[in-house]
Structure 1
């Protein structure tokens, strides 16, 4: 997980009521041929952008949840939640001249109508894994061990949880990642909702990275060229034939490709701009995702130009819509904050090994809620051949176990006609954790995920609520 500034591009958030109606959504400029705006307020913001950035063009990062009845293709109207959370007010600005961008950001932050300004940067999702197929061909490295594959699931008592509830297809898990290998034989097609792709990167902004495969313009194909998203998908929804069944049971999976594939040396990584990631996140929310897994992030000390951390507006929007957000804490092995994991309201997940001990690479901090297995995780790989597996390590693969637990909790709450908020889900997971076995676990959260205990805690709470409701005086029938 790392950060690199995108040349000539910044993200600008205006205060409530300050965004003019003429600004189109970015997707309208790429899909419907609408021209980006060449002015914003006709005042000080435009003067600063022109003086310090040369000519510029601008569009809203996000599309509105509901279309406006109008003849203008791609035009939208934002509702109160979109306005108050800020997603309706985030602008993507492309400058002609990059030389003065840091001075420009500093100056924009002093403007009364501006809520925030930052250079746009890239977020990464490295994958520490080995392809089972490649290893078998090379006759070296680990070979698939079915017994070992079950150990992470047994550690957090997933088999017992799935024996109690199988989940619900109506509960949608959003997977914001590098996409998914859609034809993988170990991922049931019936579990997969129609996904999409919000990656729109310029190869000239990648520095030393070389983009691989599809990297330009939004489309409806979330195919994975890295393997990171496919690994997360396997933890959530594997069919249970070669691998243990996915922890989310019968809950649906909605993949969005927010990270493109790039070569870092000989290794493929996922890379995406903050605007692309946030656009994908918002669309997941608008399509009804109840839980979203975010196995990516940016370290606070790597953020360019200071300012507000990334993903703030879309996190606020998700929480306002009742979405449960789960994120990987990071793989630095240090006590620090990665975003989006460190945002308030996000369930940040660290990693433990198969003995339940905190992983050396797991990022720590007061914001970390709990840990889940993140070492030696056998899951789906990129290969389409039967047995296309990989053995993965990282908090990226601990987070999906907690995401699966949240999906099962939401499904069980649905079965009894109860809502479940992110705050409630976090409390259930944290309060039901098994304590860490070692003493040196500061910053590793409340303990190790216990899905079965979390489900029982939810069931007991709902039973108590029913009992309390029955204790009242029913009154006299009319």
Structure 2
């Protein structure tokens, strides 16, 4: 079995899917768990300690037999006890609880190799080991937007979903938390800073120094893409834009109005900025499955009510993300995710997970944007404004962008408003309560089919009326 990367192989994964070269993600069986390996914020062992072996003869022996050198191994997920500390930078190592052991969080590891390998073939072989439950590449996801940097002063999005009437019912509870899992947030923006919680930066693409495997070819990483820290500052602008749509400071005679006026924004940085080698003017934002999965679990452990994910990855579920999404859902967190922007019916994760509410984009005429993905892979998805949306941007700017990325935070903000109605009436809504209200009050125009429009365009007024009826007052 040849595992070095010198010839084509029979892929068990779609070879066109973007992924980090020379990295795999494994989950071991409980008996093969190695408690001596660190997680990424284990400061007692220097953070991401570069262990050169796993510590299990089945796994290490396999790699040695095939002549594969290991650069580093670390646990993918941070224990809940660490994530809930106020100051992660000074937190000592904490143990995983029994629930985290059972769900595989303590048994999920990212392995970075010293040389080029066939990641797909290696995963296929690793899964034959009695010590391993699952093995997959560390897939790449990218932000779901089409940028346009022209300034735009008219917010049409909230108006076509009846937000003005909705705000007469509820503008947001002070205790509601929306996590923006994205490229970070501009921490000094005038329309955001007063609402920001500390947050965290999970970007750490160790294996990227060996090159990247992306559908658009090689690229250059820009800025902060290696070191995790407690500074989730945005270098791209995408996360800042999404944060503004969801929950910019409102009714303050400055800038724009967010969907949810009150509450807090939790910035979670999992994506970073890149420039493609072949297309010098083409910038984008990407992040690995493991970093995104850590961000999701962290947001849930920080008691986020809503997680907004304006990003999309492979057309099949990355195992690490799947664990994290289910964990957040089971904790009662609403997960709102973009359908994606390739204009086809192809699945895109995390939007296609059963536990998420997927969102497509419409234009100002309430018609599906041509780039918006659609179809049954996204379950009972909904639509929201996503073309030429004005929102916050880097350096106190306001720009307009298009994409399912922009549609997603409209729905995340609406979910926060529904939860606010429940909180104000001392109720705790289930995730499905919130999803059902949003879906059941969405509407389609004549001729708009479920295939292309899902349950239809969200209606904020109708949703809050339904929430008020369900939760009292």
TM-score tier by shorter-chain length is 0.7 to 0.9
Consecutive unaligned residues of structure 1, counting only runs of 5 or more, are 133-142, 467-478
Consecutive unaligned residues of structure 2, counting only runs of 5 or more, are 1-15, 84-89
Q: 1:80 to 1:355 in 2, by over 3 A?
A: farther
Identify the range of structure 1 (407-416 vs 201-210) with the bigger mean alpha-carbon deviation: 201-210
CA distance, structure 2, for counterparts of residue 73 and residue 239 of structure 1: 32
2:188 alignment counterpart:
183
CA distance, structure 1, for counterparts of residue 182 and residue 357 of structure 2: 17
1:260 alignment counterpart:
272
Q: 1:30 to 1:441 in 2, by over 3 A?
A: farther
Asked if the contact 2:343–2:370 (Cα under 8 Å) also holds between the matched residues in 1, the reply is yes
Q: Secondary structure at the match of 2:168?
A: helix
Q: 1:439 to 1:63 in 2, by over 3 A?
A: closer
Identify the range of structure 1 (177-186 vs 324-333) with the bigger mean alpha-carbon deviation: 177-186
Residue 287 (structure 1) aligned with residue 298 (structure 2): no
Asked if the contact 1:48–1:107 (Cα under 8 Å) also holds between the matched residues in 2, the reply is no
Q: How does 1:370-385 map to 2 (within 5 A)?
A: 370-384=382-396
Asked if the contact 1:48–1:104 (Cα under 8 Å) also holds between the matched residues in 2, the reply is no
Asked if the contact 2:340–2:373 (Cα under 8 Å) also holds between the matched residues in 1, the reply is yes
Asked if the contact 2:43–2:91 (Cα under 8 Å) also holds between the matched residues in 1, the reply is no
1:5 alignment counterpart:
19
Q: Secondary structure at the match of 1:442?
A: helix
Misfit runs of 4+, over 4 Å: 307-310
CA distance, structure 1, for counterparts of residue 44 and residue 367 of structure 2: 48
CA distance, structure 2, for counterparts of residue 248 and residue 52 of structure 1: 54
Residue 165 (structure 1) aligned with residue 165 (structure 2): no
- Give, in angstroms, the shift of residue 449 of structure 1: 0.4
Q: 1:299 to 1:104 in 2, by over 3 A?
A: closer
Q: Among residues 245, 250, 272, which one is paired with 1:235 in the alignment?
A: 245
CA distance, structure 1, for counterparts of residue 180 and residue 219 of structure 2: 24
- Give, in angstroms, the shift of residue 37 of structure 1: 3.5
TM-score (norm 2): 0.86
TM-score (norm 1): 0.85
Q: 1:156 to 1:406 in 2, by over 3 A?
A: same
1:454 alignment counterpart:
463
Q: 1:439 to 1:406 in 2, by over 3 A?
A: closer
2:13 alignment counterpart:
none
Quote the RMSD (CA, aligned, Å).
2.5
Residue 194 (structure 1) aligned with residue 227 (structure 2): no
Q: Secondary structure at the match of 2:259?
A: coil
Asked if the contact 1:116–1:308 (Cα under 8 Å) also holds between the matched residues in 2, the reply is no
Q: Which has the larger Rg?
A: 1
* Number of aligned residue pairs: 439
